[in-house]
Amino acid sequence: MKLKYGKWIASGLVVVFFMSSCGSKKKNAGPPISAGESHQNAVIAVQGYIIHPSVLHSSIEVAGTLLPFEETDIHPEVSGKVTYLSIKEGAHVKKGTLLARLFDGDLQAQLNKSKVQLEVAQKTQQRQSELLTIGGISQQDYDLSALDVSSIKADIQVLQAAIDKTIITAPFDGKLGFKNISIGAFITPTTVITSIKQDNKLKLEFSVPERYTPKVKLGNIVYFTTEASNKKYSAKIYATEAGITADNRSLKVHAAVENIDNNITAGSFAKAAFDMGDNNDAIMVPTQAIIPEARDKKVIVYNGGIADFKVVTTGTRDSAKVEILSGLSIGDTVITTGLLSIKPGSKINLSSLNN
């Protein structure tokens, strides 16, 4: 009995000693550390790039269209029957070339009548003038005869203007389009007789995005190419639209083409290179520093050992760097490596710097 009792006491002492040991270990271990807290406190080694002023010579390529410098549809000013027609489709004509004539027989008859009346009125005025000098008539009678002459002259001018409206001529030098009427047709001012385009002088029409509009200056030279020729042509900016188009936020520009040849024609598509000049204080960052997102673009800036995410607006780019238009300043340090593992507020350490 004594032996068994001693074994029980020894076993109890072993259990008590084991429980006390476990309790002391738990007290010394302290509270558990979460995985998130461990990751946040970790310092990430990254590489940085210090922003310095850069010289940037930039240009953008925009789509354009070659247009005739002058272009119009030719309409008659009055209604009437076509009695003369001289429109050769595709022919080059000079300004003032007679294209068509409308019936003016009634107007010519009235004009002849008025000319006869004027001749009679002028003779009457001459006799009245002679009588006035000798006191044979009053001044009022003479004034009435002079008024009659002036009135008939005015009627003749009205008739001549009406006859001129029946004559249809080319408004400027150019190339005629298709003939839309035939001789003998009755036409109205809404009828398009033909069209004419000034083909010896062209203009280039293109649009510049809103951000580049301050670079558009009258007199600037724009170079362009077409699908029909690899030759580089030049055009001088001579006009811009009154304001920016609300639909696509761009400014429409017209430039006069200076070196025209047979390889370019009106209506052709053109690729225009718009030179924006030199920017001596451009902010350029490496391409890999840009983080594209759904709505905007961001970069990570080193801010006293903490990652600071900033939204930026990008401009032109080359093979290695991107222009930053807003969001960064000269002297900022942007992170170029480890971007996927960095979160806002992460602790970072610069392992190396590039200029």
Q: Are residues 196 and 142 in the same domain?
A: no
pLDDT at 95 over 60: yes
Is 235 in the same domain as 157? no
Same domain, 221 and 334: no
- Same domain as 124, residue 89: no
Of 246, 279, 312, the position where a domain reaches its end is 279
Q: What's the CATH code of the domain at 303?
A: 2.40.420.20
Distance separating alpha carbons of residues 130 and 120, to the nearest angstrom: 16
Residues 322, 337 share a domain: yes
Are residues 245 and 288 located together in one domain of the fold? Answer: no
Sheet holding 71-74, edge to edge: 71-74, 194-197, 174-176, 92-93
Half-sphere exposure of 154 (CA within 13 A, CB side): 6
Q: Which domain holds residue 289?
A: 43-56+280-354
Identify the weakest region by mean pLDDT among 86-100, 182-196, 256-270: 256-270
Same domain, 98 and 190: yes
Asked if 235 and 133 sit in the same domain, the reply is no
Q: Residue 85 has what pLDDT? A: 96
Domain boundary among 119, 148, 165: 165
Mean pLDDT of 310-335: 89
Shared domain for 289 and 346, answered yes or no, is yes
Q: Are residues 121 and 139 in the same domain?
A: yes
Q: Which CATH number fits the domain that encloses residue 135?
A: 1.10.287.470
Same domain, 230 and 267: yes
Q: Give 240-278 pLDDT, tens digit per residue.
A: 998 888 888 889 999 999 888 888 888 889 998 877 666
User: What is the predicted pLDDT for the residue at 332?
Assistant: 93
The answer on 188 and 48 residing in a single domain is no
pLDDT digits (tens, 9 = 90+) for 153-177: 999 999 999 999 999 999 999 999 9
pLDDT at 215: 80
Q: Is residue 8 part of a domain?
A: no
Residue 6 lies in a domain: no
- What is the model's pTM? 0.60
CATH code, domain with 267: 2.40.30.170
Nearest CA among 139, 115, 119 for reference residue 129? 139
Q: Of 200, 216, 244, which residue constitutes the final position of a domain?
A: 200
Q: How many domains does the chain have?
A: 4
Residue 20 lies in a domain: no
**Does residue 108 fall inside a structural domain?**
yes
pLDDT over 60 at 27, yes or no: no
Give the β-pairing of 43-50 and 347-354.
Answer: parallel
